[in-house]
Amino acid sequence: MNLATGIVHDPQKARFLVPRRAFTDQAIFEKEYKAIFDSCWLYLGHASELPEPRSFVTRTVARRPILFTRDKDGEYSALFNACPHRGAMVCRERKGKSGAFMCMYHGWTFGADGHLMTLPGGAGYPEDFKTDPQKQMVHVPRLARRGDFFFVNFSKDGEDLDTFLADAGDYLDLVSEHSASGMGVVGGTQEYSIRGNWKLLAENSFDGYHAACTHSTYLEYLKNANGALGATPLAGTGIDLQNGHAVIEYSAPWGRPIASWVPLWGEEGRKEIDATRAELDQRLGAERAERLATMNRNMVIFPNLVLNDIMAITIRTFFPTAPDYMEVNAWTLAPNEESDWLRKYRLFNFTEFLGPGGFATPDDVEAIEKCQRGYAASTDGMFNDISKGMAREGPPLFDDEAQMRSFWIEWDKRLAEYEA
């Protein structure tokens, strides 16, 4: 069976093939923005980034500048960061605290909810000019939250956020349950770019198959760091979370600050980890606490939100600006009550493995860019094979490719609906 975009999906022959032009074709790229980024729920930010009234951050989401604010009453808004007067960006700061935002071009000033507060030379305008709806900053059509995770949607129509998230919503809840007092984004933003198609990073983010080869240096490093690995085997499964979302959930021998001890941390570390585990058992029950503490998760929420709940918790988004170029942003998330010792270890893991200068991310960037360069050899009639695990009975293993197939089927569906 050929899907609408030329994907070959043949369960009887255990074949799933993606045409390479999906990674290079400019027309497909433009359709993706219309069919996916203009209508899907997209991650905007975490509540902890606006810790008090009048906090704000600015972001670029799917090529659009966004001002994410919290007003004096604590209400959240997502505004297009463009002045209704002449279109200049109203807020030029990355983040901060302010109850008002003045456009540098002509001095129009807006409240945190986007309403026009003052403008120079107001006597030269009609009496009701300031209250004209066309003179206010424009709200993103839809803003919604799941726990402390905020999403925007540039379409006024379509499914609500919880329906869109489907089974992925429980995984967002699980991340929030690391802490009884709440989770917070720690430090700043990691920003980097990749000269490759954005879907390659989506695939890579929950691809368990590449780890042993691509990240062999990191695995050797852990083996040679006395006590950095425990006895837990590397094993798990791939799970379809519906609507293109999927996750690999697996056990692994490395330590996790939430409640998985390794000998490197010593006996004092064991005491702290044991206390954390006891609190999880009491608060969540033994079964959910066991899953939270001992299992790792690499999840992709379609189309471009990654949550890596492994040695540390990483939130990552990536937006393409061309078929062969994307811009990546990443943040680390941690329990608010975490001790200095655990926080230090968590941040070390975040930068050591997942950061742009760590062991893993440069490997992944190199692999993605080499794929993109390889497509220059020829894309006509050539396919990427994503069929691993299709011939195996039983649940998909974490190093199979079922989760990628879930992503591609949703991608195909959305482009086909747009064409219709």
| 420, pLDDT greater than 70 | no
Alpha carbon separation from 249 to 107, 176, 191, 261 (Å, rounded): 52, 17, 26, 19
* Count of CB atoms situated within 10 Å of the CB of 381: 9
Cis peptide before 233 (omega within 30 of 0): no
Residues 238 and 396 sit within 8 Å (Cβ to Cβ): yes
What are the residues facing 166 on neighbouring strands? none
Residue 1's pLDDT is 55
Of the chain, the end-to-end C-alpha distance in Å amounts to: 19
Classify domain 177-419 at the CATH superfamily level. Naphthalene 1,2-dioxygenase Alpha Subunit; Chain A, domain 1 (3.90.380.10)
Summarised one tens digit per residue, pLDDT across range 292-328 is: 999 999 999 999 999 999 988 999 999 999 999 999 9
Q: Percentage of the chain surpassing pLDDT 90? A: 76
Which of 99-113, 194-208, 351-365, 385-399 shows the lowest per-residue confidence on average (mean pLDDT)?
Answer: 351-365
Residues 45 and 150 sit within 8 Å (Cβ to Cβ): yes
Residue with tokens 């197939």: 405
Tell me what the pLDDT averaged over the chain comes to.
Answer: 93
Task: Look up residue 305 and give its two tokens.
Answer: 């939100």
Instruction: State the Cα–Cα distance between residues 77 and 392, nearest whole angstrom.
Output: 48
| 36, pLDDT greater than 90 | yes
The DSSP secondary structure of 320-353, one letter per residue, reads: EEETTEEEEEEEEEEETT--HHHHHHHHHHIIII
What backbone torsions phi and psi does residue 25 show, to the nearest 5 degrees?
A: -80, 125
Summarised one tens digit per residue, pLDDT across range 75-91 is: 999 999 999 999 999 99
* Count of CB atoms situated within 10 Å of the CB of 222: 18
What are the residues facing 116 on neighbouring strands? 110
Classify domain 49-153 at the CATH superfamily level. Rieske [2Fe-2S] iron-sulphur domain (2.102.10.10)
Residue 254's pLDDT is 84
Q: Within 13 Å and on the Cβ side, how many CA atoms surround 133?
A: 1
SS3 180: coil
Query: What's the pLDDT band for 2 if we cut at 50, 70, 90?
Result: low
Contacts of 276 (CB under 8 A, 6+ apart): 258, 259, 293
Which among 294, 224, 215 is positioned nearest to 264, based on CA atoms? 224
Which among 314, 318, 323, 315 is positioned nearest to 304, based on CA atoms? 318
- Name the amino acid, one letter, at 333: L
Instruction: State the Cα–Cα distance between residues 143 and 97, nearest whole angstrom.
Output: 21
Instruction: State the Cα–Cα distance between residues 191 and 195, nearest whole angstrom.
Output: 14
Which among 290, 293, 306, 230 is positioned nearest to 262, based on CA atoms? 230
Residue 328's pLDDT is 97
Instruction: State the Cα–Cα distance between residues 48 and 139, nearest whole angstrom.
Output: 21
Which of 54-68, 227-241, 349-363, 392-406 shows the lowest per-residue confidence on average (mean pLDDT)?
Answer: 349-363
Task: Look up residue 396 and give its two tokens.
Answer: 């998909």
Which among 263, 57, 21 is positioned nearest to 152, based on CA atoms? 57
Residue 418's pLDDT is 86
| 225, pLDDT greater than 80 | no
Task: Look up residue 182 and give its two tokens.
Answer: 């709440």
With 0-12 / 13-18 / 19 or more C-beta atoms within 10 angstroms meaning exposed / middle / buried, residue 25 is: middle
Task: Look up residue 217 and give its two tokens.
Answer: 């240096």
* Domain edges within the chain: 49-153, 177-419
Contacts of 415 (CB under 8 A, 6+ apart): 4, 5, 28, 31, 32, 35, 36
* Count of CB atoms situated within 10 Å of the CB of 369: 15
Longest CA–CA span in the chain (Å) reads 76
Residues 69 and 179 sit within 8 Å (Cβ to Cβ): no
Q: What count of residues does the chain have?
A: 420
Residues 209 and 399 sit within 8 Å (Cβ to Cβ): yes
